[in-house]
A = this chain, B = another copy of it.
Amino acid sequence: MIVTVTLNPALDLTYQVDALVPHGTHRVTTVAERPGGKGLNVATVLHALGEPVLATGLLGGPTGDRVTGLLAGVGVPAAFVAIAGETRRTVAVADRDDATGFWEPGPRVTAGEWAAFTDHFGGLLARASVVALSGSLPPGVPIDGYATLIRLAAAAGVPTVLDTSGEALRHGLAAGPDLAKPNAAELAALLAAPRPVMAATRNTSQPGPAGALGATRAAPSGREVADATVALDHGARAVVVSHGPLGLLALTGQGAWRGVPPERLAGNPTGAGDAVVAALARGLRDRTPWPHLLADAIALSAAAVAAPLAGRIDEDTYRRLLPAVRVSAA
């Protein structure tokens, strides 16, 4: 099974209003509740594809109970560790034009709760084929929390996909995830940060597939490729950078590829990156060749854009676009 980790999940509320008027009072016409957090979207997409999946992470309080109930409602298997703090909410206020988001801070996680989670995670690894680690870290989880989980997975021979940002990404990369999936903005932030000494050490002592980094660095085909190597420099064994509707760029041990969607879809881009992670996790498990994997990730991402809710996919769009995605060497 594919294990998805969501350390800072949320109860996502979407409020429909006519038009957002700052400092006005709005009667909300409809309220939608869904399990929120990038890792939960990954799990929901994998479950919709019929893939065996288990969602784990940290949940607490009545809001955490609600998330558990909503996950059960869509049939996603879950095994979360309970914390004393209360799971956060996010509120998206949708009007005729766009959405305005309000993100509560996550609950504070104690050292004991984090230790309980790493134990729990270690126990799941025996049954895991791939681990996907997604989203932000709540207060109290060490900034190198993802690095800890990546090292535990590596020791158990389980490949990892990391999708986070900022310091959590930088520290996570140092543990050598098999695949990192920053978007262009997250990559830019990483470029602006100092390169850790740790990463170079790791690349020497635990090299990725033969010639991987050398081949990639020898043949950059543009600024984007050059930028993407920063994730490899920080420690990732491969990187897939999402450029929104412009597609994906992969730098891997087997080569570098660029994939472009066959058409531009209107819709809801929230959750599109999580659909990419779902495809990547499945592809890592199946050792899918990179060009095919990139095409699958792009079609699934477009299918997420075509579905109105994050974490859902439009299966017709997926089937229609998959044969039409163009992937070429970068």
A contact residues vs B (CB 8 Å cutoff): 13, 15, 17, 20-29, 31, 62, 65-66, 89, 91, 93, 97-105
Contact = CB atoms under 8 A, between A and B. Distances in A.
Contacts of A99: 23
Count the copies: 2
A275 B157 CA distance: 65
A103 B91 CA distance: 12
A31 B88 CA distance: 10
Given A91-B91, A105-B31, A23 B62 contact: no
Contact of A103 (B25, B100, B105): B25
A102 B91 contact: yes
Given A97-B23, A98-B23, A28 B65 contact: no
Query: Which has the most chain B C-beta neighbours within 10 Å: A27, A62, A102?
Result: A102
A102 B17 contact: yes
A27 to B, nearest CB: 5
Contacts of A97: 23
Contacts of A105: 27-29, 31
A31 B85 CA distance: 13
17 contacts: A15-B91, A15-B102, A20-B100, A22-B22, A22-B100, A23-B97, A23-B99, A24-B100, A27-B105, A28-B102, A28-B103, A28-B104, A31-B105, A62-B62, A91-B91, A91-B102, A93-B102
B22 A101 contact: no
